[in-house]
Structure formats: structure tokens, C-alpha cells
Amino acid sequence: MTEPIVSVSNVSKKYCRNLKRSLWYGVKDIVSDMAGRSKDSHTLRPQEFWALQDIAFELEPGQSLGLVGRNGAGKTTLLKLINGLIKPTAGKISIRGSLGALIALGTGFNPVLTGRENVKIAGSVLGMSPRQMDEKLDEIVDFSEIREFIDTPVKSYSSGMLVRLGFSVAIQLQPDLLLVDEVLAVGDLGFAVKCMKKITEYRNNGGSMILVSHAMHNIRFHCDKALWMERGRIVDYGSSHAICDAYELSTARAGSHDGEMLIADADFAVGEVDYPIKVAGNQGFGFEIEFLAKRVVKNPIIVFAIFDIKGQHMIWNYSNMDEFFPSLVPGSNKVKVSFPSLPLANGVYSITVVLHENQVGNHLVVCKNSFSFEVTGADAGFGLLATKGTWSIAHE
């Protein structure tokens, strides 16, 4: 039996809302730690709250886990605990093997020093020996694609260039477990794709990963398992596709500010489906959205958009441009949109639905990147679109 690479058991972490009090608690905690008295705590002092409560999961070697949840759910705090930067208030975290992190890339860079000098320091901070660093330096610089600026002080770098350099150093380490916090969307599109390739390569070599991302397609694509957290607690844990679907549906249910409009449900209008949703290439499909309205919306404009994994707009359709002029009535309104043929290439896509009233820009509900699906079996070469061409030849 293989031992888990990470085992998190009943981990809780409390924070204090008030700064002055937090500092004072800090002093007390240090004193009690120095006196050798600290142990698991399950009670809150005034002004404290649970940032994490009773988090438990295990990850097998080679597996990847996605952490999903709204801002403030505790995802980053959990990563910090696993990274050993802060101590749990209760519970136990065990890590078997080496740990690396792609978090806050470019931290510790000094603006006055050149890219090359900063790379050497960053490598050293992450635990590379000077010899390893000399061996890897060329590779790092090549990967970052900023060779011509490498001897320029980094204060003249764009933020994208800094992140490129930071990623290039951090990914060299090949740890047993990699912690990744929202960095897959770094830099420009080309580089983001390169980063993702590098991460896929790392995973194919047997590396484990914990990924925090708000982009569900990244979680689906890179992770086997997912953990959904809200307010420091686990909502659900399971296969990444099942968790992403459940999470997406919960975010899709988000309604308008005044509570008068709600997307109650949305799904692929293909009858019974298995998750993950797979759409055959070139086959066209339908999508159904249920709007729950409390009042009449006379002139709704509905947006249906599809993004690819890199965030590119594949389609962005307005209902009025498709000459569809419905009105929404109080109660349930099931709107269906279908595409007889959608020539998407193989890959993972996500759907965004927006409801405007009267004119574009007057949003009632935005449901962004909330449903994912995968296109398979599209019969084509390369490119964003997969469509059959009709060829002919004429001879004089």
C-alpha cells in the first residue's frame, strides 16, 4: 500500500479580526510556545474566527487535488499551512517528500538587481545549490524567453516579465508535491500555455499537485480530485469533475443584486448526461438555462458565450442579434439555445451566461465560466476550429 503524499487530518486554524488584539494574542502564543505548553485548541478567544475548521483529506502520490471555493473560503490559508509557513491551531499535516510552491512568483526579487542576479537568489531561496543553479541558469532564462533583458535591472521589467522569470525558476525544482496558487493565468497567452504544458509534464513524471484556481477548466484538466471549501469548511470532496459541476451549479445559482432574478438551473439540453460532459466534435448541441424571475423582464438580452481553456472567446452570442426577443415572466423561464453545428476543436471549454435588461451593459445576472464541457473526436488538424473543408482541383 502506498502512503499518502499529504495527509491532512482535522486541521483547524483561527485568526483574529482585530489587529491590535491579534498582535497581543501573537505575543501570548509565542510565550505559551516557548513555555512548551501549546497544544490543539478548539475554543475561540474574543474577536477570533475559524479560518479553517476540521479540514481532512489525503492525496496519493501522483494524484492532483484542486481546491475550489469563493474568495475567503480558506484555500490560501490551507496552502500556507501545508507549506509550513504558519502553524495549525489544531490537527495534523504530514507531508512525505519534498515540497515546492508556485505561489506569489517573483517574491524576493530586488528591483535594483538584474534578472540574472535575481534568478540566482530566487533559486537559492528555493533550495538550489550554486552548482545546480549554474547548470539550470540557461534553461531558466530560455524558458522565460527574456534573454535580451536578463542583464537589466528588474525594475524595468513588466509585471508579466517578472512572473515569467519567477515561474521559470520555481518550476525547475521538480518536487514530490507542488503547491500552485492561481498562477496558471500568468503572463500572456503564449506563456500561460507553456506553463500549463510544463505542469502537465511534471504530472506525467509522477508529480503530485495541489492547485488553487477559480478557473474550473484548469481544475478539471489538471486535477483528479477536488475539495470544495466555503467559510473554512469542506462542502464536498470527490472527483474533480463531480466537484466542479456541483460548484459551478452553485455559483450559477447566484442571482441579481436585488434578488429579483435568479439562474435556477442550467444544463446541456441533451437529455441524460454523464459528467464530465462530452460533446462530439462538429456535432452541435443545445443548452438550457432556467431563469427564476420575480418580475417581468420585457426586453431581456441574453448572452451565451463559450471560452476555451486559454480564455479566448470562441463564441459570444447576443439573443437579440440571433433575432430572439423573448420576455421573462414571474416564475420559471426555461430558455434554450442550440447550435446545429459548432466546429470546436478538441479541448475543454467553459460557458458564460449573462442576462442584460433593455440594453447591453445593464446586467441583471452574470454567470461567468460556470459550465465546462469537453469536445472530443473532432476530426481536424490544428487550429481553434475543426471543420471539414470541401476541396477541389481544376486542371487547365
Partner 1 sequence: MSKSAEKKLTVYTAKSPLMEPGKLFREMLSDLKASVGLAMRLTGRDIAAQYRQTALGYFWAVLPPLVTSLTFILLNRANVIETGAMNLPYPVFVIAGTIFWQLFVDALNAPLKVVNVNRAMLSKISFPKEALVLSGILQVLFGFAIKLVLLFAVIAIFRVPVQITAFAALLSLLGLLGIGTLCGVFLVPIGVLYQDIREGLLIMTGALMFFSPVVYPPPAQGFLATIIAYNPLTPFLMLCREAFFDGTLHYLPQTLAIMGVAAILLLAGWVSYRVSLPIIIERMDA
Per the CB < 8 A criterion, the answer to whether 226 and 237 are in contact is yes
User: CB-wise, 2 or 341, nearer to partner 1?
Assistant: 2
- Preceding peptide of 276 cis, ω within 30°: yes
User: CB-wise, 129 or 327, nearer to partner 1?
Assistant: 129
Cell 484538466: give the residue: 221
User: CB-wise, 46 or 206, nearer to partner 1?
Assistant: 206
**Interface of this chain with partner 1, residues 31 to 60, rule: CB under 8 A:** 32-41
As a whole number of angstroms, the distance between CA 216 and CA 221 comes to: 8
User: CB-wise, 174 or 312, nearer to partner 1?
Assistant: 174
Handedness of CA 213, 218, 219, 223 (dihedral sign): negative
Residue 361 CB neighbours (<10 A):
8
Does 232 help bind partner 1 (rule: CB under 8 A)? no
As a whole number of angstroms, the distance between CA 304 and CA 294 comes to: 22
Q: Which one of 175, 232, 281, 300 is in contact with partner 1 (CB under 8 A)?
A: 175
Does 174 help bind partner 1 (rule: CB under 8 A)? yes
CA distances from 363 to 250, 305, 356, 366, 385 (A): 19, 15, 4, 7, 30
Least distance (Å) between residue 294 CB and partner 1: 41
Phi, psi of 121 (to 5 degrees): -65, -45
Retrieve residue 29's grid coordinates.
502564543
As a whole number of angstroms, the distance between CA 219 and CA 210 comes to: 10
Does 340 help bind partner 1 (rule: CB under 8 A)? no
Least distance (Å) between residue 178 CB and partner 1: 10
Least distance (Å) between residue 148 CB and partner 1: 21
Least distance (Å) between residue 382 CB and partner 1: 32
Does 278 help bind partner 1 (rule: CB under 8 A)? no
**Interface of this chain with partner 1, residues 66 to 125, rule: CB under 8 A:** 80-99, 101, 103-104, 107-108, 110, 112-113, 117, 120-121, 124-125
The closest of 245, 197, 205, 200 to 223, measured between CA atoms, is 200
Q: Give the interface size with partner 1 as a residue count (CB under 8 A).
A: 60
Can you give the binding site for partner 1, defined by CB under 8 A?
15, 22-23, 26-27, 29-30, 32-41, 80-99, 101, 103-104, 107-108, 110, 112-113, 117, 120-121, 124-127, 129-130, 174-176, 205-207
